[in-house]
Amino acid sequence: MADILTQLQQALDTLVQQMYAGVMYTNTRHPYADIPGQPHDADRDQNQPGGAGENGPANDSQPGGANNGNGDRPRSPPPDPDFAVTQHEIASDIIMNMARINALADRLPGIGFSEQQQMARLEELDRELREEGQKLQEAKQEKDRLLGLLDERIMKTRRP
């Protein structure tokens, strides 16, 4: 298992991806809203008459910037009956990831301690590290001494 900072970075990366996916889903799948005071052309929201569907000539880009034969406003995507459900799922995933990020952030060391307390803890840990390093050096010296003694005894032993 990775350390807390790595988990936090991965969770943030996932959150950014989820947010981007949510915005893109809403941008590409949401029907256009009526603007008060503006006429609404319902024909643009439906497939064009005369067999011009989504891949038909009405959807081809025209010279001069027009998106279809009726004007420059693109048609609304076809209505998606599961749009609200999918949006809710995306939002739930984002909320769950945010809760995970908050839980990881709460587990970070130093949360709830003053700077002086954190510095004192670092000094204590540094002292413990030096003590353990000294013990390791002593253990290595003892190992080398015992290996030398063992080699000496083996060499003195006669073979039958």
Tell whether 118 is covered by a domain: yes
Q: Which domain holds residue 159?
A: 114-160
What would the two tokens of residue 108 be? Answer: 């970070």
The whole model's pTM is what?
0.51
* pLDDT tens by residue, 76-92: 666 677 888 999 999 99
Tell whether 82 is covered by a domain: no
Only one residue has tokens 């587990």, namely: 107
Domain count, the chain: 1
Is the model's pLDDT at 60 over the cut of 50? no
Tell whether 135 is covered by a domain: yes
Cα distances from 8 to residues 1, 90, 136, in angstroms, run 12, 20, 33
User: In the predicted model, what is the mean pLDDT of the chain?
Assistant: 80
Burial grade of 100 (CB within 10 A; 0-12, 13-18, 19 or more): middle
* pLDDT score of 128: 98
Tell whether 157 is covered by a domain: yes
Select the more confidently predicted residue: 119 or 53: 119
Q: What angle do CA 145, 150, 155 make, to 5 degrees?
A: 130
Tell whether 137 is covered by a domain: yes
* pLDDT tens by residue, 67-80: 445 555 556 666 67
Tell whether 155 is covered by a domain: yes
Cα distances from 13 to residues 4, 19, 115, 144, in angstroms, run 14, 10, 29, 49
Tell whether 138 is covered by a domain: yes
Tell whether 45 is covered by a domain: no
